[in-house]
Structure 1
Amino acid sequence: MNFQIQNSSSNDTDEIFRLYKIATDFQKTRFINHWPEFDRKLIETEISENRQWKIVSEGKIACVWATTFNDPQIWEERNEDPAVYIHRIATNPDFRGQNLVGKIVEWAKNYAKENQKQFIRMDTVGDNSGLINHYTRCGFEFLGLLKLKNTEGLPAHYENATVSLFEIDVNHK
């Protein structure tokens, strides 16, 4: 299968929200914490700032995610490090099992270098051993759990949350 990574466009907004709903519905079957309904303006802003991404295969969106270069409420003092942060990976069920996170990691390594960033970082809410194992198999180092101190302005699932932190040092061989 041929996979292409590109910026999402405003035409993708409905599909992005469909994939978020599928991911949230799945989370609700497995976990206490799950994604809230995200604000449409947040996604539109990410799209306009070229921070919302997609993997496309055979004319279909296989996966979406967002990036940022700052994440101070979650990463606290580590936010000073040059990093790209990945958020809200949502996979189209038709493409599960295709190692899309691995494809995102390979893309993110190049993206980080192009933007003079040393780290690729991600977080997940809670202590989810399945996701921890999955992300470490994809090349992330699990840095441990962190109880968030200031969640004002973050999506609702971060309120009073403990997060699992993940990192890849792109300069480490």
Structure 2
Amino acid sequence: MWGDKNKDPSIYIHRIATNPDFRGQNLVKKLIHWANEYGNNKGLKYIRMDTVGLDTGLIGHYEKLGFEFLGTKRIEDANGLPEHNHWGEVCYFQKAII
């Protein structure tokens, strides 16, 4: 999914979903905090996420959490990847571990 960038020492977060009963509890923010601590302890450089579909609200939400929106790309060979990766453009996000 990340091509040559897979060589960078990073932690990847995939498929964030929140049960509606737990919305509003800042669970994604807590997940990012955990990922930053874990990555820092392991000597990693980045927290990376990707999501399928161009959702400007979601892009803004991740940017507010400190992620840089790296742009979109259609995966040319999605064989072997989960079904949702065949649906369209993938948005890429990256945050430096501090």
Q: Into which bin does the TM-score normalised by the smaller protein fall?
A: over 0.9
Q: How does 1:14-163 map to 2 (within 5 A)?
A: 74-159=1-86, 161-163=88-90
Give the C-alpha shift of residue 98 in structure 1: 1.4
The answer to which structure, 1 or 2, has the higher relative contact order (CA under 8 A, 6+ apart) is 2
Give unmatched runs, 5+ long, in structure 1.
1-73
User: What's the secondary structure of 2:28's corresponding residue?
Assistant: helix
Give the C-alpha shift of residue 161 in structure 1: 2.6
| Larger Rg belongs to | 1
- Tell me, in whole angstroms, the C-alpha distance in 1 between the residues paired with 2:59 and 2:39: 22
- Tell me, in whole angstroms, the C-alpha distance in 2 between the residues paired with 1:160 and 1:97: 28
TM-score with structure 2 setting the length = 0.92
- Tell me, in whole angstroms, the C-alpha distance in 2 between the residues paired with 1:168 and 1:129: 18
Letter in 2 for 1:136: E
Give unmatched runs, 5+ long, in structure 2.
none
- Tell me, in whole angstroms, the C-alpha distance in 2 between the residues paired with 1:162 and 1:116: 31
User: What's the secondary structure of 1:131's corresponding residue?
Assistant: helix
Letter in 2 for 1:82: P
Contact 1:147/1:162 (CA < 8 Å) preserved in 2?
yes
TM-score with structure 1 setting the length = 0.54
Letter in 2 for 1:138: L
Give the C-alpha shift of residue 135 in structure 1: 0.8
Give the C-alpha shift of residue 160 in structure 1: 5.5
Percent sequence identity is 50
- Tell me, in whole angstroms, the C-alpha distance in 2 between the residues paired with 1:149 and 1:169: 27
- Off by >3 Å, runs of 4+ in structure 1: none
